[in-house]
Amino acid sequence: MVPKELIQAIEVGDVRKFYKSTVWKHKRKEILKRDNFECQRCKSKGRFSKAEIVHHIKHLRDFPELALVNDNLKSLCATCHNEVHPEKFEKFRSNWEERNEPITKERW
Ligand SMILES: [Zn+2]
Ligand SMILES: [Zn+2]
């Protein structure tokens, strides 16, 4: 269960308070261990990367009550984590895609 004060902190947008909490630090370690410190997204593609981030499958801000639920947590490498959070790059994305598109099209 997520402590009430942390749910409230997340709801008002203070996610830092959550990430600094002891319960999260413990949970994070537990999940990394469960996933053998491997990025689960790379693993599903047959690659190996060291996991650096424990990601909330259902976003923390939208589902604060799932913040510490094992099934909602997944170890990821930094690259994959950026890919599962495209909203972080919204501003830059259109430019980046335009520049990269021709390369993808010419590949056979
Ligand atoms: Zn990865
Ligand atoms: Zn995430």
Q: What is the 3-state secondary structure (H, E, C) of the chain?
A: CCCHHHHHHHHCCCHHHHHCCHHHHHHHHHHHHHCCCECHHHHHCCCCCECCEEEECCCCCCCHHHCCCHHHEEEECHHHHHHHCHHHHHHHHHHHHHHHHHHHHHCC
Q: Other C-beta atoms within 10 Å of 17: how many?
A: 15
Look over the chain and give the mean of its residue pLDDT values, rounded to a whole number. 86
Compute the distance from residue 50 Cα to the ligand 1 centre, in Å: 8
Residue in the structure block whose two tokens are 């469960």: 34
103 has a pLDDT exceeding 60: no
Residues within 5 Å of ion ligand 1, judged at the Cβ atom? 39, 41-42, 49, 77, 80
Taking residues 43-63, report their average pLDDT: 96
pLDDT band, residue 33 (cuts 50/70/90): very high
pLDDT band, residue 89 (cuts 50/70/90): low
Compute the distance from residue 106 Cα to the ligand 2 centre, in Å: 32
Compute the distance from residue 98 Cα to the ligand 1 centre, in Å: 24
Closest ligand to 40 CA? Answer: 1
Compute the distance from residue 57 Cα to the ligand 1 centre, in Å: 14
CA angle 102, 105, 78 (to 5 degrees): 75
Which pLDDT tens digit goes with each residue over 61-87?
999 999 999 999 999 999 999 999 887
Provide, rounded to the nearest whole percent, the portion of the chain with pLDDT above 90.
77
